[in-house]
Amino acid sequence: MARYLLRRLLAMPLLLLGVATAAFLLGNVVKGDPLASILNERQMNNPEVVAAAKARWGLDRSMPERYAIYLGNLAQGDFGTSFRTKRPVMRDLLDRLPATLELVFSAMLFGSVTGIALGVAAAHWQNGPADHGARLLALIGSSVPVFWSSLIALYVFSVQLGWLPGAGRLDAAIRPPESVTGFLTVDAALAGDWHAFGNALGHLVLPSVMLGWAVLGIISRMIRASMLDVMQQDYIMTARAKGAGTLRVLLRHALRNALVPALTIIGFTFAYLITGAILTETVFSWPGIGSYAVDAARALDHPAIIGVTVLGALAFLTANLLTDIAYVFANPRIRLG
């Protein structure tokens, strides 16, 4: 196992180099002039301004030169400067990271808790209404376009029913708490500002539920399958014979072991979460990395696109690696070659 992990770890830098190179090619072999997204039409007609802009953004250098500079900068955590915001891409990303993390964490929390509950219920009442209902919910969750379900949810729960606040992280009238963690809910709680806390929490509900829905589906199916597996084993019968109640057998004896295989899908759900976050943030005007990526792509802001893509790949690779490691540790019988 140590050898397997070592090999995976050694492969990481090579994979990252490949990712960085691919991202560089995507950002530099582009149709259309990148200057068009920096300068306006009048400036484009002035050769001096054009030359100055080229020098300023390094566009006058050859491709291999730019690649070498790019790799050197990347190694120091410098993703270049955004065409659109004219700020370092890294700064933009770091500013927006907490908003995305807060959303993704709460979506993951909602998805796992409901997913596990539904999976256990579906396994216990196999082929009953609960099972079919859970299956339908899971199917819809993985089939529905999240940008559309978010729009509809926003309309129904915010506009029509007025139960939840609308887009954004906080009502405009509320002063944001002093930033400590960047998580508005946590920061508000730390500052003791319970009014802001409630408001931030309310804003978090709809996007998290919409984003967590796909995760809920995947997790509930996984838990159901492994619960059905585990429930057939002898030790469950022993527990029952010793007089353990249904709930105790389900949660204390079966679920514990059924959770292990579910670990494998954490990395898998992460891909859904990234995809979903990009679209959910766009609909909910959530000032995170996802909406930043969309704004960058719309404005053909290539340094920003490269930055987001590399960061996304880094997160994705790390999640997959952690999943594999967790899996090996959770189930020592597994031998990875």
Partner 1 sequence: MISGTRPLRLRPPAFLGARLPLAIGLGVILFWVLAALTVQFWPLDPPLDMVGRRLKPPSAEHWLGTDALGRDVLSRTLHGARFSIPIAVVVVAAAVALGGFLGAIAGFFGGLLGAAIMRLVDVTLAFPPILLAMAVAASLGPGLENAAIAMIVVWWPLYARLVRAQVLEVREREHVEAAVAAGAGPMRVLLRHVLPLCWTPVLVNATMDFGQVVLLAASLSFIGLGATPPTPEWGAMISDGAKYFYHWWIAFGPGMAILIVVLGFNFAGDGLRDLLDPRTE
Tell me whether residue 139 or residue 251 sits nearer to partner 1 (CB atom). 139
Per CB under 8 A, does 309 bind partner 1?
yes
Per CB under 8 A, does 163 bind partner 1?
no
Rounded least distance, CB 137 to partner 1, Å: 12
Per CB under 8 A, does 280 bind partner 1?
no
Per CB under 8 A, does 323 bind partner 1?
no
Judged by CB under 8 A, the residue of 117, 240, 275, 330 near partner 1 is 275
Per CB under 8 A, does 162 bind partner 1?
no
**Which pair of tokens denotes residue 19?**
């990712």
Judged by CB under 8 A, the residue of 279, 286, 288, 292 near partner 1 is 279
Per CB under 8 A, does 155 bind partner 1?
yes
- What are the residues whose beta carbons fall under 8 Å from the beta carbon of 289, sequence distance 6 or more? 93, 96, 97, 99, 100, 277, 281, 308, 311
Per CB under 8 A, does 293 bind partner 1?
yes
Rounded least distance, CB 235 to partner 1, Å: 23
Tell me whether residue 189 or residue 257 sits nearer to partner 1 (CB atom). 257
Q: Give the chain as a 3 state SS string.
A: CHHHHHHHHHHHHHHHHHHHHHHHHHHHCCCCCHHHHCCCHHHHCCHHHHHHHHHHCCCCCCHHHHHHHHHHHHHCCCCCECCCCCCEHHHHHHHHHHHHHHHHHHHHHHHHHHHHHHHHHHHHCCCCHHHHHHHHHHHHHHHCCHHHHHHHHHHHHHHHCCCCCCCCCCCCCCCCCCCCCCCHHHHHHHHCCHHHHHHHHHHHHHHHHHHHHHHHHHHHHHHHHHHHHHHCCHHHHHHHHCCCCHHHHHHHHHHHHHHHHHHHHHHHHHHHHHHHHHHHHHHCCCCCHHHHHHHHHHCCCHHHHHHHHHHHHHHHHHHHHHHHHHHHHHCCCCCCC
| DSSP code at position 178 | P
Place of tokens 């204390």: 252
Tell me whether residue 188 or residue 258 sits nearer to partner 1 (CB atom). 258
Tell me whether residue 125 or residue 316 sits nearer to partner 1 (CB atom). 316
Tell me whether residue 49 or residue 294 sits nearer to partner 1 (CB atom). 294
- The candidate with the shortest Cα–Cα distance to 104, out of 292, 297, 290, 326, is 290
Stretch that binds partner 1, among 101-109, 194-202, 257-265, 273-281 (CB under 8 A): 273-281
Per CB under 8 A, does 18 bind partner 1?
yes
Per CB under 8 A, does 294 bind partner 1?
yes
Judged by CB under 8 A, the residue of 5, 35, 95, 142 near partner 1 is 142
**What sign results for the dihedral spanned by CA atoms 217, 213, 292, 201?**
negative
Residue 295's alpha-carbon distances to 277, 291, 330, in angstroms, are 14, 6, 41
Rounded least distance, CB 89 to partner 1, Å: 14
Per CB under 8 A, does 13 bind partner 1?
no
Site string for partner 1, 41-80 (x = CB under 8 A): ----------------------------------------
Per CB under 8 A, does 226 bind partner 1?
no
Per CB under 8 A, does 26 bind partner 1?
yes
Per CB under 8 A, does 225 bind partner 1?
yes
Per CB under 8 A, does 30 bind partner 1?
yes
Residues that bind partner 1 (CB under 8 A): 11, 15, 18-19, 22-23, 26-27, 29-32, 139-140, 142-145, 147-149, 151-152, 154-155, 159, 225, 271, 274-275, 278-279, 282-283, 293-294, 296-298, 300, 302, 305-306, 308-309, 312-313, 315-317
